[in-house]
Amino acid sequence: MRRRLAMPYKEGILKREDLFITSKLWCSDHNPTDVIKALDRSIERLQCDYIDLYLIHWLVAFKKDALGFAPENFAPLDIKATWAAMEQCYESGKARAIGISNFSVEKTKDLLSHCKVRPAVNQVECHPHWQQKKLVPYLTSEDIHFSAYSPIGSSNSSFAKINVLQLPIITTLAEKYQKTPSRIALRWNVQQGHSVLPKSTHADRLATNIELFDFEISKEDLHEFDNIEQHRLLSGEGTFVNDTTSPHKTVEQLWDGDL
Ligand SMILES: NC(=O)c1ccc[n+]([C@@H]2O[C@H](COP(=O)([O-])OP(=O)(O)OC[C@H]3O[C@@H](n4cnc5c(N)ncnc54)[C@H](OP(=O)(O)O)[C@@H]3O)[C@@H](O)[C@H]2O)c1
């Protein structure tokens, strides 16, 4: 049985409206009748009446209750039907905004061609080592907010072949501004206008990672980030990509060549 989480707004530590809560639709709930049920489950677990933002996690569908990325778990995807159900979530007031995650420029364009309610946000990988140079100007031109996941380079994950926090530009600026490398990486993201979603299992890191608004990286120093070699960490290889049942047969197809 699932453990009931202690929610700060239930314990009187803060008010519900002090938090911005995002949840995501997992791939096994793409069936339109499952979309709102999945949202209801999230709301129930979070012990609140609404969430602020609900996202389609990946443009991939799995069979109901499928676990893992085995080819037999993939199911046909009807993004128009899924998005129409997301729009119902929005219209119900249970999700105050709806959006997408891991959508390339092409995939976002396709969604915009048929949606009634436009996605408010696209949540994607972004850090100094993968700056999303193609997606950022496109989302800006469409007035879709850019939200950065893995903003410090997911430093301990098996996907991270390069440690962003050890890039020379990051360690040099950490020394210069007398801030931790993670705050330099996060501050770079914030100065691009992105929201950032850093994760830590350490309370002290959570506390310092949020201290981003007492300094600014100079324009000259920001230019130095333009020279960093670019690589995605989370390519989807071995997970969302397979050459038989996935709608994305190759990594190139998943990201529409933006690699
Ligand atoms: N939409 C998507 O498909 C998607 C995909 C991936 C992630 N995300 C979201 O993005 C969030 C963050 O992503 P992420 O965990 O991949 O990457 P991240 O936040 O860039 O990196 C997390 C790693 O950095 C370490 N870390 C945190 N603060 C640090 C500090 N001050 N100094 C040194 N190391 C530090 C953490 O270790 P410790 O725990 O040991 O501190 C953890 O290993 C997740 O919570 C998730 O919600 C979304």
pLDDT value of position 5: 80
Q: How remote is the CA of residue 135 from the centroid of ligand 1, in Å? A: 21
Q: What stretch of H or E contains 139? A: helix 135-141
Torsion 114-115-121-123 (CA) sign = negative
pLDDT value of position 13: 92
Residue of 149, 161, 170 with the most ligand 1 atoms within 8 Å of its CB, for mutation: 149
Nearest-CA neighbor of 191 among 160, 212, 167, 168? Answer: 212
Q: How remote is the CA of residue 92 from the centroid of ligand 1, in Å? A: 32
**Which residues of the chain are modeled with pLDDT < 50?**
none
pLDDT value of position 90: 98
Q: How remote is the CA of residue 152 from the centroid of ligand 1, in Å? A: 7
Residue of 24, 107, 152, 186 with the most ligand 1 atoms within 8 Å of its CB, for mutation: 152
Q: How remote is the CA of residue 41 from the centroid of ligand 1, in Å? A: 25
Architecture of domain 16-254: Alpha-Beta Barrel (3.20)
Ligand 1 atom 41, closest CA: 200
Ligand 1 atom 37, closest CA: 200
Confirm whether residue 57 is marked as ligand binding: yes
Residues with CB under 6 A from ligand 1: 57, 101-102, 123, 149-157, 165, 180, 182, 197-202, 205, 209
pLDDT value of position 93: 98
pLDDT value of position 159: 65
Whether the Cβ atoms of residue 194 and residue 147 lie closer than 8 Å to each other: yes
Strand locations in the chain (E)? 22-25, 53-56, 61-62, 74-75, 98-101, 121-125, 145-149, 195-197
Q: Where are the domains of the chain?
A: 16-254
- CA separation for the pair 180, 37 (Å, rounded): 42
Atom of ligand 1 nearest to the CA of 206: 28
Ligand 1 atom 8, closest CA: 149
Which residues, 6 or more positions from 235, have their beta carbon under 8 angstroms from its beta carbon? 159, 241, 251, 254, 255, 259
What are phi and psi for residue 65, nearest 5 degrees? 65, 10
Residue of 25, 135, 155, 241 with the most ligand 1 atoms within 8 Å of its CB, for mutation: 155
